[in-house]
Structure 1
Amino acid sequence: MNDSALISIGLPVALAIIMFGLGLSLTLGDFARIARSPRAVVVALALQMLVLPSIAFALITVFDLEPLLAVGIMLLAASPGGTTANLLSHLFRGDVALNVTLTAINSVLAAVTIPLITNFAIDHFGAEGTLGLQVGKVVQVIAIVLVPVALGMLVRRRSAAFAARADRPVRVFSITVLAIVSVGAILGERDNLLDYLRDVGIVVAIFCLCSLTLGYAGARLFRLTRAQAIATSMEVGVHNTTVALTIALSVLDNTQVAIPSAVYSIVMYVLAGSFGYAITRSWPQEKAESPAHATV
């Protein structure tokens, strides 16, 4: 399995540019609103940290996966939403400020939760290896998410007119990046794709759909706005597979553990894109709601 330059270098650079574009749509008031009413953050974190690993564990049990693949599924479940979740939320008019906030919090918590959940899986399923704290993940998110977003917000503060003009080009660029990454991921793993899909394809697809649905339905159950529900859905359903792959291949040094994340990195673009399209098409009357300024 090769982590191609498109994924390891091109995607982080492109996402940093996209995060700058997202920053052009945000103000400090958006984050102040979330701080005043943190219910959306609490709901999303509870779903991601507590419910999602339980779903993964249940799927592993039902499908009776072998130990290393089971560890890979749990590692995937423990991986936080990344910059791609922010991108998809932006495309489908979600609450981007909520996504950026969740990504930052998740990334700090992941330094502890990823080792805890993965080491539990290693011990429970009788696999080998241990995993230490992933402090590097926090640094990665600061570089790819927070810094570009802050720069974009600074530009908006200096020139709101420029920020407004840049909105459409950023969305077009975002869609282009998604298409390139999806095609590149498929082509890069074309020799192994059928084997991977046979091993964990069904489990990974079900897990992805459950994650997206859980994020959206759970948010609506707790009476969050539709924009916040879209943001929560993408944050819970779109995992940072680059981190999961890096941990599996570099830290645990095991290709089989990486297989679930490799498959997920392909199917999540298709399923999350289709899911986002479906939920935004179903309620066109609410499309006019501004995600960046929706009320809690």
Structure 2
Amino acid sequence: MPQRSIRHGKAREITALLKLPPMLAVGMMMLAASPGGATANLFSYIFKGDLALNISLTAVNSLIAAFTFPLIVNFAIGHFAGDSQQVGLQFGKVLQVFAIILIPVAIGMLIRHYNPKLAGRLEKFVRVFAAVFLVFIILGAIISERENLSRYFYQVGAATALFCLLSLLVGSFVPKLAGVTAKQARACAFEIGVHNSTLAMTIALTLMNNTEMAIPAAIYSIFMYVFAVLFGLLLNKFEPLPEQATA
């Protein structure tokens, strides 16, 4: 998938440019190999991207990641650390990824199919709830990592911030060059710029048993929410969709 190639290329260039320690560099590649996740769909919904496209991209990327994640991580370990250690994505982890993505979507589709009026009434409430939920996620991420923030930010803060910012910008700009609509470009931007950092951290801490590899995903999870919200607000202000411009 082009989206995955863009993410992997940016992560590799950033790690080389900033000369990260080997395990942090591997952690950056683990982050780049992670699919968008349900949070990308949530941002696309809040900021009026093409939600159907975003869900489809996330589902396809998640399926591909089940096979490409071990390959990319093993390549990164060999390239940055010179180690032959192998990692495999367990079947249980694959099921968790699919559950996080597909269960909420399936519930929404069932409600809209069997009771469209109820789905219409719930839409505004769900949009407000999603925005409030994102605020709590941001605060929770900051509070949970408060004791290690200074050390983590010093080690890999610049790399993760740059990776997040470039992912959102490239994810929005490149699709526009291909002639897609504004709503589709927003969906691509959030799919490329919002990674499933929880998946990357889980694999680093459990399958790899390496805390240092999990640091980039932990720091990225903070930048990701803040930058994605600011990015969405800027899009609404400077590149309003037709229905927004006429509202």
TM-score range, shorter chain: over 0.9
Deviation at 1:288, TM superposition (A): 4.3
* 1:209 equivalenced with 2:197 (yes/no): no
Q: Deviations over 1:255-281 (max 9, x none)?
A: 111100000011100001101111121
Within the alignment, does 1:225 sit opposite 2:171 as a pair? no
Label 1:228 to 1:122 Cα distance change in 2 as closer, same or farther (>3 A): same
Aligned equivalents of 2:80, 2:241: Cα separation in 1:
48
Q: Is the 8 A contact 2:138 2:222 kept in 1?
A: yes
Q: For residue 112 of structure 2, what is the aligned residue in structure 1?
A: 156
Which of residues 105, 110, 115 is equivalent to 2:65? 110
- Write the distance in 2 (CA, Å) between the matches of 1:262 and 1:207: 13
Find the counterpart in structure 1 of residue 38 from structure 2.
83
**What's the counterpart of residue 154 of structure 2?**
198
Q: What secondary structure does 2:86 align onto?
A: coil
Identity, % of aligned pairs?
48
Corresponding position of 2:76: 121
Q: Structure 2, unaligned stretches of length 5 or more?
A: none
Give the secondary structure class of the aligned counterpart of 1:107.
helix
* SS of structure 1 residue aligned to 2:87: coil
- In 2 relative to 1, CA 203–191 (structure 1 residues): closer, same or farther, beyond 3 Å? same
TM-score (norm 1): 0.79
Under a length normalisation based on structure 2, what TM-score does the superposition of the two structures give?
Answer: 0.95
Q: CA deviation at 1:160?
A: 1.3
Aligned residues: 244
SS in 2 for 1:284: coil
Once the two structures are overlaid, the 10-residue window that deviates more, 143-152 or 182-191, is 143-152
Shift of 1:151: 2.3
Amino acid at match of 2:173: A
Is this contact kept in 2: 1:76–1:244, CA < 8 A?
Answer: yes
Q: What is the CA RMSD across the aligned residues, in angstroms? A: 1.4
1:254 to 1:141, Cα distance in 2 relative to 1, 3 A: closer
Task: State the alpha-carbon separation in 2 of the partners of residues 137 and 107 from structure 1.
Answer: 11
Q: Distance in 1 between matches of 2:170 and 2:241?
A: 23
Runs (5+) with no aligned partner, structure 1: 1-44, 290-296
1:249 equivalent in structure 2: 205
The one of 69, 82, 102 equivalent to 1:146 is 102
Q: Residue 134 of structure 2 aligns to which amino acid in structure 1?
A: L
Q: Kindly report which structure 2 residues correspond to 1:5-20, keeping only aligned pairs within 5 A, or say none.
A: none
> CA shift at 1:127, angstroms?
5.3
**Residue in 2 aligned with 1:18?**
none
1:64-103 to 2 correspondences below 5 Å:
64-103=19-58
Q: Provide the rounded CA distance (Å) in 1 between the counterparts of 2:90 and 2:232.
A: 30
* Cα distance change, pair 145–285 in 1 and its aligned pair in 2 (3 A): closer
Aligned to 1:173: 129
Query: What displacement does 1:135 show?
Result: 3.3
